[in-house]
Amino acid sequence: MGGAVELEQALADALRLLISGDRALWSIIGLSLSVSLRALACAAPLALVTAFALAYLRFPGQRLLVTLFNTLTAVPAVLVGLLLYLLLSARGPAGDLHLLFTPTAMVIGQFLLCLPLLVALAHGTLRDGDRRAWEAALTLGAAPWRALLTVAHELRFGLLAAFIAAFGRIVAEVGCSMMVGGNILYHTRNVTTAIALETSKGAFATGIALGVVLLAVALVLNFALSWLQGNARPAAWA
Amino acid sequence: MSGGEALIELGAVEVRRDGRRILDVERLRIDRGRTLLLTGANGAGKSTLLKLLAGLLLADAGSLRCRGVEMARGSAARYCRGRHVYLHQTPYMFDGSVRDNLAYGLRQRDEPRATRDAEVDQALAWADLDALALRHARALSLGEQQRVALGRARLLDPSLLLLDEVGANLDGANQRLVQTLIAERRARGASVVVATHEPAPLLALVDFHLHLDGGRLAVVQRDFGSVVPLRRPRTPGRS
């Protein structure tokens, strides 16, 4: 019973915090979105081209690469964080860049995290897609990169779903951001590292408020996706 | 029509998949202005040969000459794409209107919009698609989609047109459209390869009859009586 009352209280406090436009809270939310969107924007083109090569070209080691990317989707965020930490720390090979505990380090970490997932999902979409689209584009004289854009357009809903899944993975990860970001308020504190911190402090309201924001982001993305897919149904063509 | 000018020549070309040889052509030369009939059972390698000629897949071995110039296999494929147009048995319609589909190849050539529109208008009339110009291409019947694909290829004035499995899937009107197209290509000095199960309606239009059996190419004489293999018999131990 006590637990339920506490949760109710925390939820009410959370909503009040969100509505009142608490500066620290909104800086945290802003950082989460900006880091994850930047990571996704950097990874998406590279992942698309890689997935494309894996699905449509023939070269030695192709199957091995597919397996590798599929395996890498399961790497824990905290391990990516650890490796990146060792790389960026003052005595690490890339220490001179002074990137540790900056949002850029977090972007790099999330980039590494979402790349294999994007490649694996986009590869699945392209492999299961109609190969005739690629062939028709090429035979009608499209340069390979324009044929790639054509196929990406033809399969845009599947690819968009892959992007949204990847965004969901990185916006919700905590281990890597904590390791290489350092959870510094107004600088590298994002939604997930903040939840971890607030919870350890016993400040459940802030933790829940942040959780609500994460859920809201996910909800908006999924509504956007199903709206787009709904608009593309063949019934709408006739 | 300047006969005798070679459009493309294949020498000792092989295509392998999963360690298996699926196409094995000792030599094949397609001259300008020729129409070739290609027959063979399912899985004999007809589509593979057509896609090879279209530059859509690379040979694993052999030499290719395009217009008399020996080319690396990758360069030959690049050369062929857009010049040699391949038509799928079931046409692929891009996600867009009939107009968009017809204009696709012209857009790749970055033609000015006015020229493009005029050419698309003409193609719509040729393929009897005027009334459907703004319909979504995937909402059309199969026969209508075939007309879009034929018009889309014709617009590019390809030096080699590769028709995969022209036959039972075409209704009478579309059969006639294909025959018109083949005659038109020939009149322009362009070449056509038609793969089909049902050669009868096309026999009057073709110059040569090629037959594929298990990936091996043979030429059938004009009287369609005898089969002449296009490759030496493979004897064990021969290098």
Residues of A in contact with B54 (CB under 8 A): 139
pLDDT digit string, tens, across residues B16-42: 988 899 999 999 999 999 999 999 988
Among 3.30.300.30, 3.40.50.300, 3.30.230.10, 3.50.40.10, name the CATH number for the domain at B6-229: 3.40.50.300
**Mean local confidence (pLDDT), A213-229:** 84
**pLDDT the model gives residue A106:** 97
**Mean local confidence (pLDDT), A219-236:** 72
pLDDT digit string, tens, across residues A142-160: 999 999 999 999 999 899 9
Put simply, whether B116 touches A (Cβ < 8 Å) is: no
CB contact under 8 A, A139 and B81: yes
| pLDDT over 50 (residue B152) | yes
Question: Residue A122 is encoded by which pair of tokens?
Answer: 């986009």
Other beta carbons within 10 angstroms of residue B190's beta carbon come to: 22
CB contact under 8 A, B138 and A234: yes
Q: Pairing state of beta strands B216-220 and B227-229?
A: antiparallel
Put simply, whether B55 touches A (Cβ < 8 Å) is: yes
**Mean local confidence (pLDDT), A19-40:** 91
Which residue from B116, B182, B178, B183 is spatially nearest to B147, judged by alpha carbons? B178
Put simply, whether B141 touches A (Cβ < 8 Å) is: no
Question: Residue A134 is encoded by which pair of tokens?
Answer: 């690629």
Residue of B108, B138, B139 lying closest to A140 (CB–CB): B108
Which residue from B7, B4, B3, B15 is spatially nearest to B217, judged by alpha carbons? B15
CB contact under 8 A, A141 and B92: no
Which residue from B121, B107, B178, B190 is spatially nearest to B146, judged by alpha carbons? B178
Q: What is the ipTM, given to two decimal places?
A: 0.90
Distance in angstroms (rounded) separating the CA atoms of residues B210 and B207: 10
* H/E element, B153: helix B142-154
Task: Return the CA Rg of chain A.
Answer: 21
**Mean local confidence (pLDDT), B139-158:** 95
**pLDDT the model gives residue A6:** 76
**Mean local confidence (pLDDT), A27-49:** 95
- Separation in Å, CA of A139 to nearest CA in chain B: 5
Fold of A2-237: MetI-like fold (1.10.3720)
CB contact under 8 A, B108 and A238: no
pLDDT digit string, tens, across residues A96-141: 999 999 999 999 999 999 999 999 999 999 999 999 999 999 999 9
Residue A192 vs residue A18, higher pLDDT: A192
Question: Residue A23 is encoded by which pair of tokens?
Answer: 């500066």
CB contact under 8 A, A136 and B51: no
Residue of A132, A143, A238 lying closest to B88 (CB–CB): A132
What is the domain partition of chain A in residue ranges? 2-237
What is the domain partition of chain B in residue ranges? 6-229
Distance in angstroms (rounded) separating the CA atoms of residues B111 and B120: 12
Question: Residue B102 is encoded by which pair of tokens?
Answer: 């017809």
CB contact under 8 A, B105 and A238: no
Q: Which H, E and C letters describe chain A, residue by residue?
A: CHHHHHHHHHHHHHHHHHHCCCHHHHHHHHHHHHHHHHHHHHHHHHHHHHHHHHHHCCCCCHHHHHHHHHHHCCCCHHHHHHHHHHHHCCCCCCHHHCCCCCHHHHHHHHHHHHHHHHHHHHHHHHHHCCHHHHHHHHHCCCCHHHHHHHHHHHCHHHHHHHHHHHHHHHHCCCHHHHHHHCCCCCCCCCHHHHHHHHHHHCCHHHHHHHHHHHHHHHHHHHHHHHHHHHHCCHHHCC
Class of residue A215 by CB neighbours under 10 A (exposed 0-12, middle 13-18, buried 19+): exposed
Nearest residue on chain B to A155, judged by CA atoms? Answer: B95
> In which band, very low, low, confident or very high, does the pLDDT at B227 lie, cut at 50, 70 and 90?
low
Residue of A133, A139, A143 lying closest to B56 (CB–CB): A139
Put simply, whether B21 touches A (Cβ < 8 Å) is: no
Phi/psi for A184 (5° steps) reads -95, 125
> In which band, very low, low, confident or very high, does the pLDDT at A33 lie, cut at 50, 70 and 90?
very high
- Separation in Å, CA of A62 to nearest CA in chain B: 13
